[in-house]
Every structure is written in C-alpha cells, then in structure tokens.
Amino acid sequence: MNELAGKHIVLGLTGGIACYKAAELCRALIKEGATVQVVMSQAAQQFITPVTMQALSGRPVYDSQWDARPVNGTANNMPHINLSREADAILIAPCSADFMAKLLHGRADDLLSLLCLARPIDKVPLLIAPAMNREMWAHPATQRNVAQLGADGATVFDVGSGDQACGETGDGRMLEPQELLDEVSAFFQPKVLVGQHVLVTAGPTYEAIDPVRGITNQSSGKMGFAIAQAAREAGAEVTLVAGPVSLATPRGVSRCDVKSAVEMFRVVQERASAATVFIATAAVADWRPAKAADQKIKKGGTGKAPELTFVENPDILAALAQSPRGLSRALYCVGFAAESHDLLANAQAKRLRKQVPLLVGNIGPATFGQDDNALLLVDELNAVEMARDSKLSLARKLMIEIAARLGVKGQP
Ligand code: C5P
C-alpha cells in the first residue's frame, strides 16, 4: 500500500535473539516505501551481521560514534548528529532491557544511545520495541523504565507472549515484523480522535432457522474492521461488535462477537452509553425467522417445503440515532448504505429516514469481500466522494471527516 512512502526510519538494533526479526522488519519497512538507515550496537552484531542488514536496507550500516564516513554528504565525523537529523522516527527493534535502562538515564556511550540522546526530541520520535526474557520484562526495574520512557516522550510498543528462545514461556517476545509495521504505520496517522470512544458494528448477522441452518449475507466485515483499526490509530478507544466473520481483531481494539441482530442490538445498547461515536457498518438482517426450530427440520419425504414466518429485526442504527444521546449528537451516529444503484438519492433518503447526521454510501456488489471500496459521504450540507482505494485508506480518511464534524482539533 506504500503506507510509509517518504518516511525515513533509523532502525536501531540492540542485543537479542529477536535481531533475526529485524531483518524481516527492515524489508517490510522498505516494501511500504520507507528508506531505512540501520544502526547496530556491538551486542546486536553477535546475533546478526551488518552485512545482512546492509544488503536488506541498501545502505551502509553504522555502529561506531568514531565512524568518519560522510553521512548524507556531510563529512564532519559526527554520525550521531547527521544520522538523526533526517529521520522521521528512530525505531529500536529489538530494544534490550539494558538499552532501555541506558536510554532512561540519558547515557550515550555508543553510537545508537548517543544518537537517541542527540535527536531533536520534538521532531524525531523514538519508538521502542522491547524484546527480552519474561523475568527481565516483568522485573520492576524494567517496568519502571518502560513507564519513565513513556513519560519522557518515547512510544514503547507492547511485547508479544509465547515461547521464548531461553525455553521459558511468557511475555517479553518482540512483536512480529508485520505487527511492528502496523504499529509504525499507526504511529504516523493523525491523532484526530483522542478522547473519543468509538463503537463499531461489522460483518453480517446470522439468523437461525434451526440448530444447523440459518440466514446470513455476503458481508465480509472488512470495511468495519478497517474502520475500527483506523479509529484506534486516530487515538480513540474502540469497541467492535462483530457478527460471524473470520478476521483478526485490529490491535488495541476491544472486540465482542455476536451472531444474531437481536444479540448485536443488546450488546450495542450495553456499550452505547460509554460511546461518543457510533459507526454502523454491519449488514444486519432485516428479518429473522419468528421461531428457530429446536431440532433440525427434516425433509419428511412429503416433498412439502417448510413454511417459515418472519418477524422484523430491530434497526440498531435508527434506534441509537433517535435516542436522546443520538438526537443531541452526544453520540454521533454514522450509517452505511450498500446500494446497487442511485447511490446519492438512496443515501440521502436513508440518512433522513434513520435521522443520522452522516451516511456513507457504497455500491454493495462492487465491494463485498473486496479489499478496496469507493465511498460517498452524505450529510445535511453536501455529498463528498471518496475515490476507489483500499478500505483502510478510506477508513482513515473517514475518521478525519468524522473528527471535523465533531469539531475535534487534529494533531499532526
Ligand atoms: O436499512 P439498511 O439496512 O439499508 O440500513 C443500513 C444501515 O443501517 C447500516 O449502517 C446498517 O449497519 C444499519 N442497520 C442497523 N440495523 C438494522 C439494519 C440496518 O443498524 N436492523
């Protein structure tokens, strides 16, 4: 997707077996359009060679504050200054417990710690991906350092959990390269929804006919999951109420799985009072069988089809939009409309009928199950088209549109 086009990342490696993941991370950053300058501590070179990192990054690796090679055309024998000035971020991955302790105290006895201390603190963010044994991670000294590094303005990513190289199992593994890539991309998104709590519905619903059969639809949930991810990246607290889909939960999002429309409605009602924004992307079934059979309905050999009677499902979006908090916009409600034709007219009519301030139209058959989409945003003033793009890019743009309508000030 070229998520990181134009970004220059200084990738610092410190001692730890997770250095092997840094090789993959370097490739992934470059694949997304970033340029990567690798700096290694001496300990890191016990685990992976500068030759490997040079080959992957396409740039010479630096490891000494006494390195006299010119950096970006400047030959003043100050790699600790020159390497950090061009960076959009310094990412330490893996970051050992020892290196965190060093950063915390402002020590600067090797090139990497020196350039972290010498970086322009307001312009060059420091991102830390810890990697260590579970006891080292859980130690009060490490946890104290994590908290203090955060207070000093660094962003300390989470650690993974699982089997460790030492044979123990627990917290402290470095996140996987793809997870770190997601974290870095998320870091660069504008934090326009800080302080907001966004509630999202996604996916289809499943309305049971009997214990083995039911009625559902083709919604993949991808748009709703992208919206949950984008809202989280924009700094919101996010609750995702998902119908039956097989998608991974976006990092940092709280997810609640449901099946039927009635269940989705109940969970949404429970969570709505804490929310400030409600985005209904779920393809909720309009009708459900009046009564699901207790046992599987058999053919019976008569050739006669079973007769199903239906009752209408609650309209979750309309109910929330027309609640006191919805009407006062304390809960800003956003609806989706999957249409097959006349998108503008249908979206406008749906917006008025449901009484939502913002309705997002898309052509259903052109987007079901796809990774891209095109949107039409309709509010009381006008209609804004968003050209075909990945669902995540569109979701990010939608967050900016929603934030503007909330009157929330954006942060760079
Ligand atoms: O009426 P229609 O299904 O076309 O409306 C689509 C919008 O309403 C979507 O935002 C969808 O999530 C929401 N909706 C809902 N509950 C329903 C039906 C639709 O929240 N029962």
β-pairing, 214-215 vs 207-208, is: antiparallel
Report the separation in Å between the CA atom of 374 and the middle of ligand 1, taken as the mean of its atom positions.
Answer: 19
- Catalytic positions: 166
**What is the Cβ-side half-sphere exposure of residue 172, based on CA atoms within 13 angstroms?**
22
Say if residue 253 is in the same domain as residue 354. yes
Say if residue 170 is in the same domain as residue 237. no
* pLDDT tens digit sequence for 243-297: 999 999 999 999 999 999 999 999 999 999 999 999 999 999 999 999 999 999 9
Say if residue 223 is in the same domain as residue 175. no
Say if residue 163 is in the same domain as residue 207. no
Say if residue 306 is in the same domain as residue 218. yes
Say if residue 180 is in the same domain as residue 205. no
What is the 8-class DSSP label of residue 174? P
Say if residue 125 is in the same domain as residue 209. no
Nearest CA to 62 out of 84, 31, 34, 33 is that of 84
Say if residue 206 is in the same domain as residue 308. yes
Residue 3 belongs to a domain: no
Q: Which two tokens stand for residue 335?
A: 């609806």
Where a domain ends, among 146, 169, 187? Answer: 187
Say if residue 162 is in the same domain as residue 239. no
CA dist 39 and 62 (Å) reads 5
Alpha carbon nearest to ligand 1 atom 21, residue: 315
β-pairing, 160-163 vs 169-173, is: antiparallel
Where a domain ends, among 166, 187, 208? Answer: 187
Residue 49 belongs to a domain: yes
Ligand 1, closest atom to CA 285? Answer: 21
Alpha carbon nearest to ligand 1 atom 4, residue: 337
Residue 224 is which amino acid? G
pLDDT reported for residue 412? 36
Most informative mutation of 268, 315, 323, 367 for ligand 1 (most atoms within 8 A of CB):
315
Q: What count of other Cβ atoms lies within 10 Å of the Cβ of residue 37?
A: 21
pTM over 0.85: yes
CA dist 411 and 392 (Å) reads 20
Where a domain ends, among 168, 187, 206? Answer: 187
Nearest CA to 63 out of 90, 42, 48 is that of 42
Q: Which two tokens stand for residue 128?
A: 């830390």
Say if residue 283 is in the same domain as residue 153. no
Alpha carbon nearest to ligand 1 atom 9, residue: 336
Report the separation in Å between the CA atom of 42 and the middle of ligand 1, taken as the mean of its atom positions.
Answer: 58
Nearest CA to 317 out of 259, 272, 376 is that of 272
Report the separation in Å between the CA atom of 284 and the middle of ligand 1, taken as the mean of its atom positions.
Answer: 6
**What is the Cβ-side half-sphere exposure of residue 238, based on CA atoms within 13 angstroms?**
28
Residue 201 β-bridge partners: 241, 280
Report the separation in Å between the CA atom of 194 and the middle of ligand 1, taken as the mean of its atom positions.
Answer: 27
Q: What is the C-alpha R_g of the chain?
A: 26
Ligand 1, closest atom to CA 320? Answer: 20
Residue by residue, pLDDT tens for the chain (412 residues) are 689 999 999 999 999 999 999 999 999 999 999 999 999 999 999 999 999 999 999 999 999 999 999 888 888 889 999 999 989 999 999 999 999 999 999 999 999 999 999 999 999 999 999 999 999 999 999 999 999 999 999 999 999 999 988 898 999 999 999 999 999 999 999 999 999 999 999 999 999 999 999 999 989 999 999 999 999 999 999 999 999 999 999 999 999 999 999 999 999 999 999 999 999 999 999 999 999 999 999 988 888 888 999 999 999 999 999 999 999 999 999 999 988 889 999 999 999 999 999 999 998 777 778 889 999 999 999 999 999 999 999 999 999 999 999 975 444 3
Q: What is the CATH number of the domain that holds 159?
A: 3.40.50.1950
Say if residue 173 is in the same domain as residue 118. yes
Contacts of 146 (CB under 8 A, 6+ apart): 100, 130, 156
Nearest CA to 224 out of 211, 205, 209 is that of 205
Alpha carbon nearest to ligand 1 atom 13, residue: 317
Ligand 1, closest atom to CA 313? Answer: 21
- Residue that the structure tokens 């685990």 belong to: 47
Q: Where in the sequence is the domain holding 86, given as residue range(s)?
A: 8-187
Residues in contact with ligand 1 by the CB-under-6-Å rule are 201, 261, 280-282, 284, 313, 315-317, 335-337, 350
Q: What count of other Cβ atoms lies within 10 Å of the Cβ of residue 283?
A: 24
Say if residue 218 is in the same domain as residue 259. yes
Report the separation in Å between the CA atom of 271 and the middle of ligand 1, taken as the mean of its atom positions.
Answer: 18
Report the separation in Å between the CA atom of 235 and the middle of ligand 1, taken as the mean of its atom positions.
Answer: 26
* pLDDT tens digit sequence for 17-32: 999 999 999 999 999 9
Ligand 1, closest atom to CA 360? Answer: 10
Residue 1 belongs to a domain: no
**Secondary structure in 3-state letters for 210-261:** CCCCEECCCCCCHHHHHHHHHHHHCCCEEEEEECCCCCCCCCCCEEEECCCH
Residue 192 belongs to a domain: no
Q: What is the number of domains present in the chain?
A: 2
Do you find a cis peptide bond into 94, omega within 30 degrees of 0? yes
What is the 8-class DSSP label of residue 19? H
Residue 365 is which amino acid? P
Ligand 1, closest atom to CA 314? Answer: 21
Report the separation in Å between the CA atom of 379 and the middle of ligand 1, taken as the mean of its atom positions.
Answer: 17
